[in-house]
């Protein structure tokens, strides 16, 4: 089992009221899955993704990824964990301004203790960019790339350290329909190569590219199905 979330709570205190962003969620994701997490705003899907991404820690409950308990890690351990095990794809791409595509893609390797030589790092970045179809735009800065191209740079960056999981937070939210389909198809191709993908989205047609759909409501998993087969209540 790749991701094991058990009985997870995340509580925010806003003045005197406490809000349960997550209210006892349990979730399993196996190797090679393509999961779409859906839900209305306030359903807890963003909190869920933040915790999955080791960007946030749960109030209680356990989160194991690849057999390791994440919820008790220190800040430094979390940083290393994110670097090695996760690749992030964001709604607004989050590329560094005025930095070439190749350098963007190399970035995760810098923080990984630098196992690769400078030349190997560059070669891998070029290979990844070629794979996402940007082999001719290696040295373009974000301002010189379209939204779809920027998101592809971000995907190449997410793949740099060969993580087992890619977390995509509304990856098509800022893209037109054509680019959206391009990106989600690309994620599907990556999934076919064995990379596990967890994607948050609110668009049904984007979610339909996933193998499994999880709908969240009020901090819990409401229902779960395979979008390709039909609905199945939990």
According to DSSP, residue 9 is labeled E
50 binds another protein (CB under 8 A): yes
56 binds another protein (CB under 8 A): yes
| Contact pick of 19, 30, 31, 55 for another protein (by CB under 8 A) | 55
Contact by Cβ (8 Å): 78, 160: no
* Interface stretch with another protein, choices 20-28, 87-95, 132-140, 191-199 (CB under 8 A): 87-95
* Interface stretch with another protein, choices 25-33, 73-81, 179-187, 212-220 (CB under 8 A): 73-81
| Contact pick of 107, 131, 138, 181 for another protein (by CB under 8 A) | 107
As measured in angstroms, the least distance from the Cβ of 94 to another protein is: 5
Instruction: For residue 48, give the H/E element and its range.
Output: helix 45-52
* Interface stretch with another protein, choices 19-27, 108-116, 172-180, 196-204 (CB under 8 A): 108-116
Site residues (CB under 8 A) for another protein, limited to 150-169? 157, 161
120 binds another protein (CB under 8 A): no
19 binds another protein (CB under 8 A): no
* Greatest extent of the chain over all pairs of C-alpha atoms, in Å: 56
| DSSP bridge pairs for 62 | 6
Contact by Cβ (8 Å): 86, 78: no
Contacts of 54 (CB under 8 A, 6+ apart): 70, 73, 78, 81, 82, 86
User: What angle, 0 to 180 degrees and rounded to 10, lies between the N-to-C axes of helices 177-192 and 147-159?
Assistant: 20
| Contact pick of 84, 141, 174, 188 for another protein (by CB under 8 A) | 84
Report residue 164 as tokens: 């087992």
Distance CA 41, CA 9 (A): 18
- Note the residues at the interface with another protein (CB under 8 A): 50, 53, 55-56, 75-76, 79-80, 82-84, 88, 90, 94, 96-98, 107-108, 110-112, 114, 157, 161
């Amino acid at each position: 089992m790749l991701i094991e979330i058990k009985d997870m709570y995340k509580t925010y205190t806003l003045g005197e009221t406490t809000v349960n962003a997550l209210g006892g969620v349990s979730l399993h994701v196996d190797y090679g899955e393509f999961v779409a997490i859906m839900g209305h705003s306030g359903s807890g899907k963003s909190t869920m993704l933040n915790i999955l991404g080791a960007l946030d820690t749960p109030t209680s409950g356990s989160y194991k990824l690849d057999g390791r308990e994440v919820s008790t890690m220190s800040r430094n351990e979390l940083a290393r964990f994110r670097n090695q095990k996760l690749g992030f794809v964001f709604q607004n791409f989050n590329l560094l301004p005025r930095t070439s595509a190749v350098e963007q893609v190399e970035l995760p390797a810098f923080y990984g203790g630098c196992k690769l030589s400078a030349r190997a790092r560059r070669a891998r970045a070029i290979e990844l960019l070629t794979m996402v179809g940007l082999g001719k735009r290696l040295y373009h800065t974000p301002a010189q790339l379209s939204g779809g191209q920027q998101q592809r740079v971000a995907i190449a960056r997410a793949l740099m350290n060969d993580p087992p999981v890619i977390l995509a937070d509304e990856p098509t939210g800022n893209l037109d329909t054509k680019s959206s389909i391009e990106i989600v198809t690309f994620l599907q191709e990556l999934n076919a190569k064995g990379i596990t993908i967890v994607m948050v989205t609110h668009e049904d047609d984007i979610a339909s590219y996933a193998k499994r759909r999880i709908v969240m409501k009020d901090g819990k998993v409401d229902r779960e199905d395979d979008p390709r087969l039909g609905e199945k209540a939990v």
